[in-house]
Structure 1
């Protein structure tokens, strides 16, 4: 089974595919100064929830891009349901192959900087889509402790300390204007949502040829979270503004 198929299964019951909340997403939009005059592009937009929240709260327009066809279908359906589809479009695309169709007032990427190999690569790529005064809203993992067990650190080579996140943002020409950190409850809800999606699939597909692989993935992410993730890994949504 392909990796993206596992992601679609595990996140099937989620609205936001990261350890954050609608309230924090809206607060990040407020800190970024979003308004009805703004156009926003979101990379790795998932199920369109963040664009929908900002469309309803601030009246933004723009587009979302995602590599998963099922995610794009669900995002289009959500935006149509919320009456936002005339203003916000969804494109099925590998964003690494995309070039800017125009310049945007804000670029967002929540939990998907791995598309470009990590935080620094994401800032460089997203900046090419921005107006000179454009802002970035980016959700990123970070090391919550100074000392991380080597066996876990090796699995997450692109994760930075929060000090490094701030310095990398400055090197890219941005200041950190706001931070909205995931709480332990946010993490538990996110991880539990993944487990529930996988367990639901296993219940609905008894005897499926991929069942062993899905169950192995379930146990792997559970063990990783119990052994390391909850103690050593943080997540936050950062609002970046031009320096």
Structure 2
């Protein structure tokens, strides 16, 4: 079973592939989208859940998504067709860090995909290259709520605490104009959905050759969450504008 298939199964019962509930996603998009006819780009879009929501809520909006997973992009195309927004969505099968476009975007998203660029700072630098004058960035990444264990750092990387994260964002020329810190309920709901949905799929498919791998992946993720990073990890989404705009 490919990694993107595991991820897609795991996120099947969660509104978005990040620790956010429906209300939080709606508020962030409302704050981030600068106008009904905006042009939006998602770097590392996965199944394009953010873009599909934006397209459904804004009938004149156009969107582009970039991801390396052909399976996730195929899922996004099928979902866009079901919603009747496929004519306004363009998907690119390529590395988000190397993506170029002939035009700029009013909103650039990168939620949960900063690893594709090597961290938050590099993500924001890449987003700036795609941003139209007056545009905004919606970025989501982790931070340490308290001192992490070495195991947690090994699993999630060299994150900073919240004040340091915001100081770095400001120092790199960005002003937050909105944001959201995931609640404990959102974080736990996301992790339970990830591990429980994947395990449930495996139990519902006793004869599937991928059953054992799915159960193993769910157990490993659950172990890492509960005994690794649950007590120290937080998730932050920021709506940003360039300070010099």
Do these two structures clear the TM 0.5 threshold for a shared fold by scoring above it? yes
The offset of 1:211, in angstroms, is 4.2
Q: How far apart, CA to CA, are the structure 1 residues paired with 2:232 and 2:211?
A: 30
2:96 maps to 1:95: yes
Cα deviation for residue 111 of structure 1 reads: 0.7
1:26–1:57 contact (8 Å) kept in structure 2? no
In structure 2, the partner of 1:20 is 20
With normalisation by structure 2, the TM-score equals 0.89
Distance 1:177 1:185, change over 3 A: same
Residues 163-172 or 2-11, more deviating: 2-11
What is the rounded CA distance, in whole Å, between the counterparts of 1:132 and 1:224 in structure 2? 42
Question: 1:163-202 residue pairs with structure 2 within 5 A?
Answer: 163-202=163-202
Q: Distance in 2 between matches of 1:222 and 1:201?
A: 15
Q: Which residue in 2 is equivalent to 1:224? A: 224
Kindly state the Cα deviation for residue 39 of structure 1 after the two structures are TM-superposed: 0.5
Could you tell me how far 1:62 is from its partner in structure 2? 1.8
What's the secondary structure of 1:16's corresponding residue?
Answer: coil
> Are 2:75 and 1:69 aligned?
no
Deviations 1:200-225 (A, max 9, x none): 34225436555444333222211122
Cα deviation, 1:126-177, whole Å, max 9, x if unaligned, reads 11111132210011111111x2222222322242211222122223221111
CA separation in 2, counterparts of 1:137 and 1:202?
34
The answer to whether the Cα contact below 8 Å between 1:179 and 1:237 also exists between their aligned partners in 2 is: yes
TM-score between both structures, scaled by the size of structure 1: 0.89
What residue in structure 2 maps to residue 78 of structure 1?
79
Deviates more, 1:107-116 or 1:123-132: 123-132
Aligned pair in 2 of structure 1 residues 18, 165: CA closer, same or farther (>3 Å)?
same
Aligned Cα RMSD in Å?
2.1
CA distance in 1 between partners of 2:183 and 2:52 (Å):
23
Q: Which runs of 5+ in 1 are unaligned?
A: none
Q: Could you tell me which runs of 5 or more consecutive residues in structure 2 were left unpaired when the two chains were aligned.
A: none
SS of equivalent to 1:31: helix
